[in-house]
Structure 1
Amino acid sequence: MGAENQTYLTEFILLGLSSDQHTQVLLFVLFLIVYLLTMFGNLLIIVLLHFDSRLHIPMYFFLKNLSFVDLCFSTVIVPQMLFHLLSMRKSITFIRCSTQMFFFLLIGCTESSLLAVMSYDRYVAVCKPLHYSTLMNQRICVHLVLGSWACGALVSLVDTAFTLCVPYRDQNVINHYFCEPPALLKLASEETYKAEMAIFAMGVLILLGPVSLILFSYWNVISTVVLMKSGGRLKVFSTCGTHLIVVVLIYGSTIYTYMQPNTKKKNKWDKMVSVFYSVITSMLNPFIYSLRNKDVKEAFRKVFGR
């Protein structure tokens, strides 16, 4: 019956962030600037880390992969949002909506895993420096990145499948600016308990799991740094602090969206919160992780200073 109902559904209507025309124009300009900064910042990091051989070490290998993920992540969401901000009819076909949701989850969950991998890298570098070259050799680094993508693919397949198997009829207006499982489930015409439990279980795997690893890693890093007598303490604290800013922004807003019971009631904060993890963090990551780094600044002068 659910599959039969879905065959009649050909498109969704996205309400976006605002219905006021002037506000939409302002949002278009704002998010266009954010998108361009995201593209520029992440492409710059990829170029710098590729051409400077001194930065061919595990930490920067993960940073380069993070920049690539952020490029893809922003491109899945922002171009369509910009188009809809200037469109009278903000429609999206069922196929395009499903595709956007799948890749949003795939890339977003991959980033979540990758941030946990990066925190583990810092833990090994600070707490087990004598074993760093063994524990974080090239083969292991590649496997960790591939494992992040595998986790992202698993969660994306499960969440997308359970979201789309719920029948949708009558209503096709999504109170959101892109296709996201919690927003779609609000339109479901039947019980969504199984889908909600599947999404919650995947949330435990891809959100609470990495957060636990990140907190464990940085707790040990900070505990180790406190006992240091060298002058590198401030640098490590600065690195950990900036990384934790990203953790709070990404995981805090994502957990708010995916780890609470899904209700039919429309919450005006849902869309605003999702802006942080779907748009803003992809722009901030290059500045927080890389562009304020001394080695990256030197690489910039080396590559572009001639």
Structure 2
Amino acid sequence: MINSTMVTEFLLVGFTDKWELKCLNSMLFLLMYLATLMGNLLIITATTLDQNLHTPMYFFLRNMSILDMCYISVTVPNACVNSLTDNRVISVAGCATQIFMVIYCAYVELLFLTIMAHDRYVAICQPLHYPVIMSHRFCVWTTLASLFSGLLYAGAHTGNTFRLSFCQSNVVHQFFCDVPPVLRLSCSDTSSNELLIIVSAMGVCGGCFIYITMSYVRILSTVIKFSSRERGKAFSTCVPHILVVTVFLTSITYVYLRPSENTETVQDMILSVFYTIVPPFLNPIIYSLRNKQVKEAVRKTLLRKFYSRK
């Protein structure tokens, strides 16, 4: 990596240069970060301690919560420290590590969302076959496949990015290291990188989006036959999932597939928030804390901790 670049460090860009707005932005990010950690930690604890929640759906919710805690920790703490200390410098190795972790977490997040859509489809459309299809073996193997394939996916993109030479500006127009803004700094031919992004986006994002869409089309066609009460319950669980997937895929697709010759704007930084910070922040609320069983398990967990301190 060192031999292939003349740049030894990068400079990240914040949302604003005004100190008051920096503090406000950092406080907002910090509050979202702490809320995300607290919400996901409660879900992990509740779904682990409550034996009634040891089912495939909550198995994936627990895995999603662990992933979301890691995902938001890749970008937010560093962004807050950089903003408050006005230290925008990040080493090439640090930038490569951040890119690897962001891609890895985003990839696994998308696969988990797809698996959860499959889980909902089986639970609603094939309830009698649910224990067989969503067996513990299936849950473990799909999780391991997502985690290990993510290493290959993130490694390919990161390695393909940092084989390039960077001899122009070292200012990354983003509050964290990401592939598109880093590619714009290269003085090498980036056509193969852009081709890899397009192919992987069509294969992974496109494939997952099609599968999720097909799953929900089948779910909705089945839900229509339910009574009004059951229909409303099914819609209340499915619509938020569709919303998160749509926001996640739309924002990440726009940022990654936008033509590289376009100028950098604050719009890119705002959109990046929607695929790096918003999903981990909203997932505990959408998938778990609106669920009566999870809320009851969380209440028992909090009461257990309260009485244990006494």
Residue 9 of structure 1 aligns to a residue whose secondary structure is coil
- Aligned pair 1:174/2:172, yes or no? yes
Q: Distance in 2 between matches of 1:165 and 1:267?
A: 26
Distance in 2 of aligned mates of 1:213 and 1:300: 32
The equivalent of 1:263 in structure 2 is: 261
Alpha-carbon contact 2:168-2:186 (below 8 Å) kept: no
Q: Which residue of 2 aligns with 1:304?
A: 302
Distance in 2 (CA, whole Å) between partners of 1:305 and 1:192 is: 56
Q: Which amino acid is the alignment partner of residue 9 of structure 1?
A: V
- Superposition pairs of residues 139-288 of structure 1, within 5 angstroms: 139-229=137-227, 231-263=229-261, 265-288=263-286
Counterpart residue type for residue 275 of structure 2: Y
1:259 positional shift? 2.7
- The aligned residue for residue 81 of structure 1 is 79
Report the alpha carbon displacement of residue 23 of structure 1 after superposing the two structures with TM.
1.0
Aligned counterpart, 1:66: 64
Q: Are 1:5 and 1:169, in contact at CA under 8 Å, matched by a contact in 2?
A: no
Q: Distance in 2 between matches of 1:219 and 1:154?
A: 31
Closer/same/farther in 2, CA of residues 89 and 305 from structure 1, 3 Å limit: closer
In the alignment, the residues of structure 1 paired with residue 202 and residue 31 of structure 2 have an alpha-carbon distance, to the nearest angstrom, of 34
**What SS does the aligned partner of 2:207 have?**
helix
In the alignment, the residues of structure 1 paired with residue 284 and residue 173 of structure 2 have an alpha-carbon distance, to the nearest angstrom, of 31
Unaligned 5+ segments in structure 1 are: none
The change in CA–CA distance for 1:93 and 1:125 in structure 2 (over 3 A counts) is same
CA deviations over 1:191-240 (Å, ceiling 9, x no partner): 21110111111112221111111111111011011122474221111100
Aligned to 2:307: none
1:44 aligns with 2:35: no
Tell me which moved more, 205-214 or 64-73.
Answer: 205-214
Rounded to whole Å, the distance in 2 between the matches of 1:25 and 1:48 is: 34
Give yes or no for the alignment of 1:21 onto 2:22.
no
> How many residue pairs align between the two structures?
304
Deviation at 1:298, TM superposition (A): 1.5
TM-score of the pair, normalised by structure 1: 0.95
Task: Check conservation: 2:13, 2:88, Cα contact below 8 A.
Answer: yes
Residue type of the partner of 2:56? P
Alpha carbons 1:159, 1:202 under 8 Å: kept: no
Alignment-mate amino acid for residue 72 of structure 1 = C
**Where do 1:89-168 residues align within 5 Å?**
89-168=87-166
Residue deviations 1:44-93 (CA, integer Å, cap 9, x gap): 11001001100100001000000000000011111100110112331000
2:308 alignment counterpart:
none
Aligned counterparts of 1:230 and 1:89: Cα–Cα separation in 2: 56
Distance in 2 between residues matched to 1:5 and 1:118, nearest whole Å: 41
Deviation of 1:251 after TM superposition, in Å, equals: 1.1
**What's the TM-score once normalised by structure 2's chain length?**
0.94
Deviation at 1:138, TM superposition (A): 0.2
CA contact (8 A) 2:4 2:163 kept: no
Taking a change above 3 Å as real, the CA distance of residues 267 and 230 of structure 1, as seen in their structure-2 partners, is closer
Q: Distance in 1 between matches of 2:87 and 2:131?
A: 55
Structure 2 gaps of 5+ residues are 305-310
Q: Is the Cα–Cα contact under 8 Å of residues 11 and 172 in structure 1 kept in the other structure? A: yes
Q: Is the 8 A contact 2:15 2:266 kept in 1?
A: no
Q: Partners in 1 of 2:131 and 2:208 — Cα distance?
A: 23
What does the per-residue CA deviation read over 1:139-195, in whole Å, with 9 as the maximum and x for residues that have no partner? Answer: 000111112213322221121111111211131111110000001011111221110
Is the 1:113–1:151 Cα contact (8 Å) retained in structure 2?
Answer: no
Q: Aligned pair in 2 of structure 1 residues 88, 260: CA closer, same or farther (>3 Å)?
A: closer
Shift of residue 4, structure 1, vs aligned partner:
4.1
Query: How many Å separate the matches in 2 of 1:163 and 1:199?
Result: 11
**Who is 2:55 aligned against?**
57
TM-align CA RMSD: 1.5
Q: How far apart, in 2, do the equivalents of 1:86 and 1:174 lie?
A: 18
Contact 1:102 1:157 (C-alpha < 8 Å) held by counterparts: yes
Structure 1 SS opposite 2:258: coil
